[in-house]
Homo-oligomer: A and B are copies of this chain.
Amino acid sequence: MTARFYAPEAHATGDEVALPDDESEHLTRVLRLKRGDRIVVFNGRGLAFDATVQAAGKHAAQVLVGAARAAASEARVAITLIQAVLKGDKMDDVVRDAVMIGVAAIQPVVTARCEVTRASVERGRRRERWERIAVSSAKQCGRALVPVILEPEPFDAVVMLVEERQLPDPALMLIEPQAGADAVSLRELGARRPDEASLIVGPEGGWTPREVATGSERCQLVTLGARTIRSDAMALVATAALFAKWGEY
């Protein structure tokens, strides 16, 4: 398979664009490609092209954008994953998996039981790291669109953003079966496929009763049955289930 590279500046056939640093390094040092080699580039906003390496320097690679080509199609429902920030590498895995399965955007959220603060997420430049992981996962799964990683927000702000339709409505908030009486199963959700939706997944320690109460005012509480699913697998399982329900598979 021809190697794929992220070239955010590629817009049209005939463009001559530089690859970002990480991508240049991958092209030059890892794959040892040279002037004249054929590659594929995608711009992260849905377009992919054949391309030819023009220069493969140590720090910068330059490519000539060729004919447009098909990339893996995007999902019928644009799901924004609103994910509580998990501990350590777990959040990295969730970002990787969510991009792979096909979410449209990721909104990190800091909840009462998250073991990180927004300040520590910012200091650690975690968002920049998640963006790199999103690019890498898009390369591997064949998408031409790199889901945007939004600025982390506290839980109340996220609920407000749903209320103001700045995040997609309907918003489905996943809760443990024992955590609340108003939760429905996916069977009980209407069969109509929305164009977009938010999926809200909590942290390792679950939601506080206050968060469930706040969420229930603006979101649909949903539960995925009796077996406990690890928090770092929940987004993948729930997205797969929603895609199946909405005819994506």
A→B interface (CB under 8 Å): 72-73, 97, 100-102, 140-143, 185-187, 224-230, 233, 236-238, 240-245, 247-249
**Distance (Å) between the CB of A228 and the closest chain B CB?**
5
Is B241's CB under 8 angstroms from A142's CB?
no
Question: Contact partner of A244 among B72, B102, B241, CB < 8 A?
Answer: B241
Give complex CA distance A248, B72 in Å: 29
Q: Contacting A225 at CB < 8 Å: which of B186, B187, B248?
A: B248
Q: Which B-chain residue is minimally distant from A245 (CB atoms)? A: B244
CB atoms of B249 and A185 under 8 A apart: yes
CB pair B73 A226 closer than 8 Å? yes
Question: Which B-chain residue is minimally distant from A186 (CB atoms)?
Answer: B249
In the complex, what's the smallest C-beta–C-beta distance from A230 to chain B, in angstroms?
Answer: 6
Contact A100 B244 (CB under 8 A): no
Q: Which residues of B contact A142 (CB under 8 A)?
A: 226-228
Chain B residues with CB under 8 Å of A187's CB are: 247, 249
What are the residues of chain B within 8 A of A225 when measuring CB–CB? 73, 102, 248-249
B186 touches A229 (CB 8 A): no
Partner of A241, one of B100, B141, B143, B249: B249
In the complex, which residues of chain B have a beta carbon less than 8 angstroms from the beta carbon of A141?
227-229
Identity of the chain B residue whose Cβ is nearest the Cβ of A138 in the assembled complex: B227
Q: For the complex formed, measure the closest distance between the CB of A49 and the CB atoms of chain B, giving whole angstroms.
A: 18
- Docked Cα-Cα span, A243 to B243, in Å, equals 12
Q: How far is the CA of A241 from the CA of B243 in the complex (A)?
A: 7
Q: How far is the CA of A176 from the CA of B118 in the complex (A)?
A: 40
The complex places the Cα of A101 from the Cα of B229 at a distance, in Å, of: 7
Query: What residues of B have a CB within 8 angstroms of the CB of A230 in the complex?
Result: 100, 140
Known A102-B227, A187-B247, A240-B240; 9 more pairs at CB < 8 Å: A72-B227, A73-B227, A100-B229, A100-B233, A102-B225, A141-B228, A224-B249, A242-B244, A244-B244
